[in-house]
Amino acid sequence: MSRGVLVTGASRGIGRAVALAFARAGDRVAVHYGSSRSDAAATLAALPGEGHALVTGDVTDPVAAQRIADHAEESLGGVDVLVNNAAAGTALDNRHVIPEVSYADWQRAWRETFDVNVFGAANVTYCVARHLIARGAAGRIVNIGSRGAFRGEPDHPAYGASKAALHALGQSLAVSLAPHGIAVASVAPGFTATDRVAGRLTGESGAALRAQSPFGRVAEPEEVAAAVLYLASADATWASGAILDLNGASHLRS
């Protein structure tokens, strides 16, 4: 049966791959974007099937987060699956190492990262979950976390901490939402080859990144999408609360 799926941050990269995977499985997808309308429109145009929608809004704004959830709920005839993919990632321009940044820049990095990766995800999740509970419908929530939550992000500590918080949020909600038939799980990808980080995969830096895995490469967005599709499936109910590592054995945790 076709489901309604909201994917936040679906303009490019992992979000686009996730949206495509659900559409290919026959689901109706709400493609969310914050500012890249042209990229989001390209994602929407690439989706097979019918009933898809474009949804916009700034997840860091609590009012906008509610509107995102409401718009997706109305456009799809109900959101059955939420994928929290929108994120403030790691880049040279948001690097924040204590000996090298001002106190103001340090605070800014933490605030901006947590606003998207934690508070934004929490607010969209709340609004989608309330719709599911009101409909008496079972649902799935999958969070896109990160290997950095466990391995550490020395150049971007706010990012690593935010993804650890997102994993913890998912596990707390897995317990509290289970009585309502809502399963919650997370994936923790390692470095993934998206357009946004293409420049980091060239030269010596690219070789070093690929060498982190014994497979000698980094992940493809479609590999992350395949895991998300599984965790959102009926067969994965018993995986609720899980954090699935997707890092090609580049980091092993006990």
Rounded distance, CA 140 to CA 72, Å? 15
- Which of 33, 103, 126, 159 is catalytic? The answer is 159
- 13, 146, 145, 26: which is closest to 80 by C-alpha? 26
Q: Which residues pair with 81 in a beta bridge?
A: 5, 140
Active site residue 33: no
- 120, 128, 150: which is closest to 232 by C-alpha? 128
Residues tagged active-site: 159
